[in-house]
Structure 1
Amino acid sequence: MGKTNIRYWLCQVLGWGIFGLIHIYFNLGVFREQFAQHGGQDEYLISLGIYLVSGIICTHILRTVIKNTNWLKFSLNKIWLVFIISIGATGLLLFYGGNAIEHNTPYSFDKYIQNNKLERAKKAEANAGLDKVAYYSSSPVRDSLSLKAISDIKKNTGWYRNSQGVWKYQDKGDQLGIYQNLLLIALWFLIYVVYHYVDKNRKDQLDRLKLESSIKELELKTIKSHINPHFIFNSLNSIRALVDENPERARTAITELSNILRSSMKAEKAETVSLQKELDIVKDYLALEHMRFEERLNVEMDIDQDTLGQQVPPMMLQTLVENSIKHGISKLVNGGVVRIVADFKGDNLELLVQNTGQLNGNLNGDGFGIKSTQDRLNLMYQGKAHFEIKNINSNMVESKVTMPVSL
C-alpha cells in the first residue's frame, strides 16, 4: 500500500470516527437524560458502528468512481453537475443501504425505538379506553375526546391502526435522515475534491518550477558552450601571429593557453568560482594578448583583497576583458589601457572593466559576449544582479557588473 492510500484510509477512519464521537458525545453526554428515557444504548452504539462502516464503504465507492472517470480533470462547470449527481446517488445509497443492513441485524436501534413507541401507543390507547373499541373501523367513534386521543397517539409515537386494526408505523424522520445523509456526503465530496484540486495545482506548480529550472540549466550550459570556443578561437589567433615572428614566445603562449583551457574546463562544471580563480584566467588571457599587442596594450588592476573570495560566474570577467580588447584596443592605432576594478558597494560586489575607446551605435549589444553576460546574470540571480556598458567620458568605455555579496 502506497503512502497515498495510507493517507486516504487514515483520513477516512479519522473523519468518520470523529463524526461518530460527536454523535456519542451529544446523545450519551449532553442529552444523556433524554436518551436514558427510552434506553437502548447498546443498540444505539451497534447501529452507529454499522452506519459509520456503511459511510466508509459508500464514500470509498464514490472515490473509486472519481478516480476511474478522471473527474478531477473536468472543468469547474462540469464538476458541479457531477457533484450534484454524486451526492444524490451516494447519499441515497448510504441511507437505504445502511438502514437495510441495520434492520437485518438483531441490534437495530430504529427497531428498538419503534418497539418502544409502539408500547407507548398501546398504553396511550388503553388509557384513553380505545383498546376495546373498534375506532379504526368504517364506523369510527365521533366524540371529540376520542378523536383527539387517536390523533395524539399518531402524533406522539408515529403509530396508528389501519382499517383492519393492524398497527402501522409512519416514520417522519425518513426525509430528515435523507437530508442529513446528503449533507454529509456533500461535505465529504467537497473536502475530497478540494484537497485533490489543491494538491494537483501544487504538483503542477512544482513541475513548472522543475521545468523552468531545467530550461535555465540548459540555457546556462548552452551559454558556456559558446563562451569557450569563442575564447579559444581568439587565443589561437594570438598564438598564430607569434609562430613566425617568435617561435619561443609562441611555445610559451601555447603553455599558457593549456593552463587557461584546463582552468576553463574545471570552471564549466561549476555554477560559480571564486574571483581569485577568475582573475587567474584573466591574467593568463591578458598575457597572451600582450604578446600580440605588445606596447599597445596596457593593463591596470585595482582589486580589493577582500573581494577575492567572492563567488562569480565562471569566464564572465574574462568575457568582458576579451570584449574590451576586441572592440576597443584592437581598433585603436596607438592601443590603449584596460583597467579592472573589484570592490564592494554596500551589499553588492562591483566589477568594472574599463577600456580606451568609444561605443558604437548599438552599444556592442549584438556581440555574444555582452549578450551572454546579460543572460547569465538574469538566469543566475533572478533580477538581483545588473550589467551595463556605457561611455564614461570621451575616450573610455566601462562595463559594470553588480551582484549580491555571497556569504
Structure 2
Amino acid sequence: MGKINVRYWACQILGWGIFSLIHIYFNLVVFKEQFDQHGGDTEYLISIGILFFCGIISTHLLRTVIKKTHWLRFSFNRLFLAFIVGIVATALIFSYGGNAIESSTNYSFDHYIQNFKLEKAKKLEANAGLDKVAYYSTTPVKDSLSLKTISDIRKNTGWHRNTQGSWKYEDKTVPIQIYQNILLVALWFLIYIVYHYVDKNRKDQLDRLKLESTVKELELKTIKSHINPHFIFNSLNSIRALVDENPGRARTAITELSNILRSSMKAEKAETVSLQRELDIVKDYLALEHMRFEERLNVEMDIDQDTLGQQVPPMMLQTLVENSIKHGISKLVDGGIVRIVADFKGDNLELLVQNTGQLNGNLNGDGFGIKSTQDRLNLMYQGKAHFEIKNLNGNMVESKVTMPVTI
C-alpha cells in the first residue's frame, strides 16, 4: 500500500466539512423559518452526510485520474480541455451518485420534500374543489379560475396529474444542482492545480538552488585546491640541487613543501582559516621561492597582530603572493620586493600584496590567480568583499582584498 497523504486527506475533510457546515448553517439558522415549514431535519442531515461523502469520493477519483495521466505536465490548451471534461464528469458523478445513494435509503430528503409537496398539491386541489373533477382528462376544464389553480399547483409544488389522473412530479432542481456542483468541482480543481503548480515551482526552485550550491562548492574546491605545477617542479629541482650542497636546508625545504601541499588538500574542506595559519603557508612558500631567486627576492611584512585571528579564504593570500612573483619578480633581471600588509580599515580587514613591476594593459589581470580570487570572494561573501589590482607609483603593483571583519 502506498503511503497515506495525511495533508491531502486533511484538506479534503476540512474543505468538504466547511462546505457542509455552511450548507447546514444557512438552512437551519439563516432560513430556519422557511425550513420549519416542511421540516425533515433528520433526513436533511443524512443528505448532507451523503453530500460530504460523495464530494470526497468524486474529487478523489478526479485526483486519481490527474495523477495517473500526469495532467500537470500538459500544455495549457490540453490542460484547459482536460479541466472542462474533468469537472463536468466529476460533477455528474457527484450529483447522480449522491442522488442514487440517497434514494436507496429510507431517509432521502428529496423524497421527503417530494412527499411534502405532494400533500400540499392534494390540499390545494381539494381546497379548489378539483379533487372531484376529472380536470386532467382529455377534455380539460375551460373555467379560467380552475385553470389558474391547476397552473399554480404545478408551479408551486412541481406536482400535476397526467391524463390518467396519476400524480407526476417535475424535479426542476436537478439541472440547478448539477450547475452548482460544476462550480463547486471547478473551484476544487482550481485550488488543486494552483497548489501543485506552486509546489512544483517551489521544488524546482529548491532543486535549482541546490544545483547552484553544488556548482559553487565544486568551483570553490577547484579554486582552493589549485597549486601552480610549475612551482612544485621548480621547488623539487631546487631541493634536488641542495641535497648535496646543503642537506639540512634540503630537509627543511621538503618540510616547507609538504606543509604547502597539506594545506592545499585541507583547503578543500575548510571554508576559512585564520590569517595566522595562512601567513605560515605564505612564509613556507616564500622560503621555497627564495631558494630559486636568492637575493633577487626581498620580502617585507607589515602585519597588525590583531588581524592574525581573522578568518580568510584558505590559500587566497598564497595565490596572490604567487601571482606577484610569477608576473612581477621573475620577469625582472634585478628582482624586487614583495610586501605583505594586513590591517583593519573601519569594519573591514584589508590585505595588500605589493610587488615590484608593472601591469601591462589589462589592469584587472586575466591569470588564474586574479580570477580565482575574484570568483572566491564573489561566491563566499556575495558582494560584501572586494578585490582590485592596480599600478602603484609607477614601479609597483598592488593587489588589495577587502573583506568583512569576523567577530
TM over 0.5: yes
- Structure 2 counterpart of 1:356: 356
Residues 4 and 309 from structure 1, CA distance in 2 versus in 1: closer, same or farther, beyond 3 angstroms? Answer: farther
Answer yes or no: is the 8 Å Cα contact 1:238–1:289 preserved in 2: no
Is residue 2:152 matched to residue 1:134?
no
Is residue 2:223 matched to residue 1:205?
no
| Deviates most, 267-276 or 375-384 | 375-384
Aligned AA (1:16): W
Aligned AA (2:259): N
Question: Secondary structure of 1:78's partner?
Answer: helix
Question: Secondary structure of 1:171's partner?
Answer: coil
Answer yes or no: is the 8 Å Cα contact 2:161–2:168 preserved in 1: yes
1:14-33 Cα distance to aligned partner (Å, 9 max, x none):
11111111111111111122
Is residue 2:343 matched to residue 1:340?
no
TM-superposed deviation, 1:373: 1.7
Structure 1, unaligned stretches of length 5 or more? none
Question: Secondary structure of 1:295's partner?
Answer: helix
1:343-395 Cα distance to aligned partner (Å, 9 max, x none):
23333322110111111234583422222222222322333332221102211
- Structure 2 counterpart of 1:385: 385
| Deviates most, 293-302 or 147-156 | 293-302
TM-superposed deviation, 1:225: 3.4
| Deviates most, 361-370 or 120-129 | 361-370
1:72-119 Cα distance to aligned partner (Å, 9 max, x none):
011222211111110111111111111111111111000000100100
- Structure 2 counterpart of 1:50: 50
- Structure 1 counterpart of 2:265: 265
Question: Secondary structure of 2:226's partner?
Answer: helix
- Structure 1 counterpart of 2:82: 82
Structure 1 stretches of at least 4 aligned residues deviating more than 4 Å after TM superposition: 1-4, 228-231
Is residue 2:361 matched to residue 1:373?
no
Residues 231 and 12 from structure 1, CA distance in 2 versus in 1: closer, same or farther, beyond 3 angstroms? Answer: farther
Q: Distance in 2 between matches of 1:228 and 1:161?
A: 103
Q: Distance in 1 between matches of 2:222 and 2:49?
A: 64
Residues 385 and 259 from structure 1, CA distance in 2 versus in 1: closer, same or farther, beyond 3 angstroms? Answer: same
Residues 387 and 240 from structure 1, CA distance in 2 versus in 1: closer, same or farther, beyond 3 angstroms? Answer: farther
Question: Secondary structure of 1:106's partner?
Answer: coil
Answer yes or no: is the 8 Å Cα contact 2:274–2:309 preserved in 1: yes
Identity %, equivalent residues: 84
Answer yes or no: is the 8 Å Cα contact 1:392–1:398 preserved in 2: yes
- 1:39-188 equivalences under 5 Å are 39-188=39-188
| Deviates most, 76-85 or 345-354 | 345-354
1:7-66 Cα distance to aligned partner (Å, 9 max, x none):
111111111111111111111111122211111000000011011101111111100000
Residues 387 and 225 from structure 1, CA distance in 2 versus in 1: closer, same or farther, beyond 3 angstroms? Answer: same
Aligned pair count?
Answer: 407
TM-superposed deviation, 1:195: 0.5
Answer yes or no: is the 8 Å Cα contact 2:225–2:265 preserved in 1: no
Q: Distance in 2 between matches of 1:113 and 1:323?
A: 93
Residues 2 and 310 from structure 1, CA distance in 2 versus in 1: closer, same or farther, beyond 3 angstroms? Answer: farther
Answer yes or no: is the 8 Å Cα contact 1:241–1:292 preserved in 2: no
Structure 2, unaligned stretches of length 5 or more? none
| Deviates most, 221-230 or 329-338 | 221-230
Q: Distance in 2 between matches of 1:226 and 1:257?
A: 14
Aligned AA (2:117): K
